Structure 1
Amino acid sequence: MLNRTKFCNANIGLTGGIATGKSSVAAIFLEFGIPVIDADQIARKVVEPGKPAWHKIRQEFGPEMFLDTNELDRTKLGDVVFNDVEKRKKLNAITHPEICREIYWQTLKYFLQGHQFIVMDLPLLFETRHMINYLHKIIVVTCEEDLQLQRLIERSGFTEAKAKIRIAAQMSLERKAEMANFVIENSGSQRDTREQTIRIINVLKASKYHWKLRFLVGFCCTVLLAGVYWLRSRSLRPLPTIT
């Protein structure tokens, strides 16, 4: 298990390997009214034409990485970065700060709406380690390696060689599972995956951690407002007159 000693929100990290079934698990959380922040969706948003990350990618990788519509050609760029570790690092350095910034804003929105916890769907959580200290618990979705390869080929149309390169670019499922608080084994039926997910949801809902967090935030806000009020009152106090 991870030893996370820094302050973190009541956020639940959802991760795993490519084509292990994270989206199916995320859909079950949504079904139970639990917000899910999808890092992949945000990653697409931050590289839309005209966005800061779009300009940086164009400058770093060239106009040939873009379609005639000015949209990023994700397939072509993927072929480049998954075959070159240094280029992949450059791309991550461009996009990850933008992605994290958007995740923080969405987290704050859901927190203020009063949700007990939220789920962050973070495919590269362990690879980047950017969000680990902001998570209360981590769920890893795994499946058998041959099934993962089969799913990726069927989903993306990749050749077997290209699919293996994409899988090898990520940390192994075994290592990820070792660092998880919960593991969902998604090699069986949809019913089995659903039952595993619901058991985890019940455990998370039984936790009182979010009340401790809200008390801490409320206390800090109260102290801050009291300080502002005191400073304002002091500034408005009439100066003593000299007779």
Structure 2
Amino acid sequence: MRRPKSYPFLRVGVTGGIGSGKSTVCRLFSGLGRHVIFADDVARRIADEDPEVKQAVLQEFGPTAYLSNGLLDRKGIASIVFTNRNKREKLDSIVHPRVFECIDAQLESLSRDTSFPYILVEAALIFETGMEKSLDHVIVVTAEEETCIQRVVMREKVPPEEVRRRIASQMPMTKKSRRADFVIQNNGAESDLRATVHFLDKVLFEINAQRES
């Protein structure tokens, strides 16, 4: 992502480890009427539809990278990249530049509407890819590791050992939290999380209002 001259809204990243609840946080923000760009959704669309990206993935991972319906074999690719750092970095180098371009295009389009106090960009790898340089603030969502593991096991029906391998492949949450502007701890009930989101919504609204005054 590049930093444009100005936007009429704040650009706020939301990140966190697998199972931390960052998507739930974004859903709660969305329920307040805030616009959310989900980087994972953008990446999925690009991997499935962008001819240049598909060709590069096929060259790197072979013909089994895509299913017979033309969609990326996400489970198969995940089993490779979560255990092979070089392959993970190669996949990121193929997909992420196009993801950044698409997010930039969405932000440019949204900038015509001055009613947004802020736009959220939900992405797992904000700090790892340097995306934070193009954002005004970053929210990190955290949770106890065992809580994260239990959530992913229930959601994806995978063994706990696989989730632990994924967590080990990511930037430590303590490091992400130190680099964050705001940290949301998501270990309790959703009602507690909702209250935190409501409070942070007011804070971000006020920050943007002060910026415009």
Q: Normalising by structure 2, report the TM-score.
A: 0.92
The equivalent of 2:18 in structure 1 is 18
The equivalent of 2:39 in structure 1 is 39
Residue 177 (structure 1) aligned with residue 200 (structure 2): no
Counterpart mapping for 1:95-114 below 5 A: 95-114=95-114
- By relative contact order (CA 8 Å, sep 6+), the higher-ranking structure is 2
Counterpart Cα distance in 2 of 1:209 and 1:85: 43
Residue 140 (structure 1) aligned with residue 127 (structure 2): no
Counterpart Cα distance in 2 of 1:42 and 1:49: 11
Structure 1 SS opposite 2:48: coil
The equivalent of 1:241 in structure 2 is none
The equivalent of 1:118 in structure 2 is 119
Conservation of the 8 A alpha-carbon contact between 1:12 and 1:137: yes
How far off is 1:159 after superposition?
1.2
Counterpart mapping for 1:1-243 below 5 A: 10-49=10-49, 51-114=51-114, 115-129=116-130, 131-207=131-207, 208=209, 211=212
| Unmatched tracts of structure 1, length 5 or more | 1-5, 213-243
Conservation of the 8 A alpha-carbon contact between 1:117 and 1:210: no
Using a 3 Å threshold, how does the CA distance of structure 1 residues 96 and 8 change in structure 2: closer, same or farther? farther
Counterpart Cα distance in 2 of 1:119 and 1:111: 13
Larger-Rg structure: 1
Counterpart Cα distance in 1 of 2:27 and 2:211: 22
How far off is 1:209 after superposition?
5.3
Structure 2 SS opposite 1:11: strand
Counterpart Cα distance in 1 of 2:117 and 2:126: 22
Conservation of the 8 A alpha-carbon contact between 1:116 and 1:210: no
- How big is each residue's C-alpha offset from its partner over 1:75-134, in whole Å with a ceiling of 9 and x where there is no partner? 0011111111011111000000010000001111112111221000011111222x1111
Counterpart Cα distance in 1 of 2:153 and 2:5: 40
Structure 2 SS opposite 1:112: coil
State the aligned residue count: 206
Counterpart Cα distance in 2 of 1:35 and 1:164: 32
Structure 1 runs, 4 residues or longer, greater than 3 Å off? 6-9
Counterpart Cα distance in 2 of 1:119 and 1:49: 24
How far off is 1:170 after superposition?
0.8
How far off is 1:25 after superposition?
0.6
Aligned Cα root-mean-square deviation (Å): 1.6
| Unmatched tracts of structure 2, length 5 or more | none
Conservation of the 8 A alpha-carbon contact between 2:117 and 2:204: no
Structure 1 SS opposite 2:37: strand
Q: Normalising by structure 1, report the TM-score.
A: 0.81
- How big is each residue's C-alpha offset from its partner over 1:181-206, in whole Å with a ceiling of 9 and x where there is no partner? 11111110001001111111001111
